Structures are given as C-alpha cells and as structure tokens.
A and B are shown apart, each in its own frame.
Chain A
C-alpha cells in the first residue's frame, strides 16, 4: 500500500491536536488522513493502492479538495498531485532532509492566499490596432541597409513583423507596470507570465495577505472598469500552489 502526500503543514502531532483537527477530513477514496511529523512540521498523508484505483481527473479534483480543507486549519505547502511514496520511513526522511526549506516556505506563505489573474484580449483586433500605431512610423531602408538589394524587401517585412511583436510585448509590459504600480501598497508577491497564448496576454499569480484581500480585489475591479477591451479572469483564494520554491529530486 503506497502513501499519497497532500501537504506539509506547520504543526507537529505531538504538540498540536492535529489528529483531532483532521478527523473530519477524508482523503482520496474516503481514506483516513494521518500525519507524519518531524520537529515543527508534518506531512499529511493517506494510504492509496495504486494498483487498485485508476488515476483520473476526478481524483485530482478531490485531491485539491483535501488541500483546500486543510488550508482552513493550517498554514501549508501543497504537494503536486501524484506523489506516491512507499513507506512512512521515506516520508520521515524527506521531512528530516528538507526541514529547512519546508520551514522557510511555510513562513513565507503564512497568513496569505493565492489569487490568479488571466487577461484575455481579442488578438486579431488588438494586433491590428497596435500594427496601425507601429506603422505610423515609416521604415526607411537606408537607415538599416547599406545597399538596396533583392533581399531588402524581405528584410523589411521581417523587421516590421519583429517591430509588431515587440510592440505587442511592450503593451503587455506596460500593463504589468500598471498593475504592479496599483498593487504597490498591498505589496503582494507576484509572478507574471506574458503572452501565454495569442489570446491570453497575461497569466499572473499573487500571494496576498488574507487581511488585504478586499483591497486587492478592489484594485482588480478598478482595473477591469478601466480596460473594457480586456477580459479579466480572477480566481481565488487558493492555497499557495504557485509560490512553492521546492523541488526535491532524490
């Protein structure tokens, strides 16, 4: 029987009444949760027979449910779905070997929630509008090429394409600056992923202090009012999935 790990929490079962607190939370397939502790941290796990149950999308969704319920009780580090280990001893060793990074990350996310923001635009329409801006400035071949050769037109076309891509990226970067500036007072930890696809221009995640959640949402609401041409997808609050800086390769 394998063990599946859900999260690392900031409690030791000998010091806190962890077993009592988690007794009403069920693991995957209705299994009982239990904890394996080392110093001030614990791994929340349950038994899972990988030969008996098939791994489906619904199981991943249920895994997220367990993490969400735990997040209401403890500061935690979510573990990526699909981490099955052979024994309790391996989990204890994992906690022992990586105690410090687990401890440091728990401190970093304490009292904070994650929010996700995706910004979508009408790619074709926006591209044409930005292209019109870019093409206001004429490209003079003499500024770039010493001789007018048969390749000049090709190179000019390439340059126009590059300038358009550059302008699109600058447009997104300008937007990131605007968001960052408006959020400066709230000072969330943030990660921006630009141009995830032609239509998703920004995929951002924010780690926001729970008590400043209202201010954060208000800033996004204001931005939304100012940018009717963009579609805002704000989700959360989530446990701090996107702010884990731990990769353990044993």
Chain B
C-alpha cells in the first residue's frame, strides 16, 4: 500500500533517471576523459522533457480538488 505514494508513471521515471545519469554521480573531467559531443544533445533533450513533464504535471495539479 505504501508503495502507492511512489510515482510510477513512465515519463516521470525516465525524466528522473536521465536527470540522475546526466547531471549527478561522480564527475571525472580533464584530459583523461574522451569528450563525446552527442552527450550535449542529450542534455538539451532532457531540458525539453523537463519542460513538457512540468507542463503536464501543472495541468494535472490545476484539476486537483481537495477531498477528491
């Protein structure tokens, strides 16, 4: 029953997952790391997903009524 409070929607899970693998974790930079340009494109994609999920959630929020 408790698990119900955890959001299971696919969009949210993927957004949260991408936010973590792209923005968090141990950061290793400098000359020893091979730079791959396409990673920046995924970052841009993530920002677009964030905007769309936020809009979706906002829409859902405005339809929530107390005690429903």
Contact = CB atoms under 8 A, between A and B. Distances in A.
A214 B57 CA distance: 26
A210 interface: no
A81 B18 CA distance: 9
A55 B54 contact: no
B42 A57 contact: yes
B22 A60 contact: yes
B17 A64 contact: yes
Helix, strand, loop or mixed for chain A's interface? Answer: mixed
A241 B54 contact: no
Contact of A236 (B6, B22, B34): B6
A59 B47 CA distance: 17
A250 B31 contact: yes
A234 B24 contact: no
Interface in B4-23: 5-7, 12-14, 16-18, 20-23
A217 B5 contact: yes
A197 B54 contact: yes
Contacts of A200: 54
Contact of A235 (B6, B21, B33, B57): B6
A43 to B, nearest CB: 10
A244 B27 CA distance: 9
Contacts of A120: 54, 57-58, 61
Nearest to B23: A80
Contact of A84 (B36, B57, B58): B36
Interface string B33-68: 110101101100100000000100110111010110
Contact of A85 (B32, B41, B54, B64): B32
A44 to B, nearest CB: 12
Nearest to B5: A221
Contacts of A214: 2
A60 B42 CA distance: 9
Nearest to B53: A233
A229 B2 CA distance: 20
Nearest to A229: B66
Interface of A: 2, 5, 8, 50, 54-57, 60-61, 63-64, 67, 77-86, 90, 94, 105, 116, 120-123, 125, 197, 199-200, 214, 217-218, 220-221, 224, 228-229, 231-236, 238, 241-242, 244, 246-250
A-B pairs with the 5 shortest C-beta distances? A55-B38, A250-B30, A241-B24, A241-B20, A80-B25
Interface of B: 2-3, 5-7, 12-14, 16-18, 20-34, 36, 38-39, 41-42, 45, 54, 57-58, 60-62, 64, 66-67
Given A63-B21, A233-B57, 10 more contacts: A56-B38, A120-B54, A217-B5, A234-B6, A235-B6, A241-B25, A242-B20, A247-B26, A247-B29, A250-B32
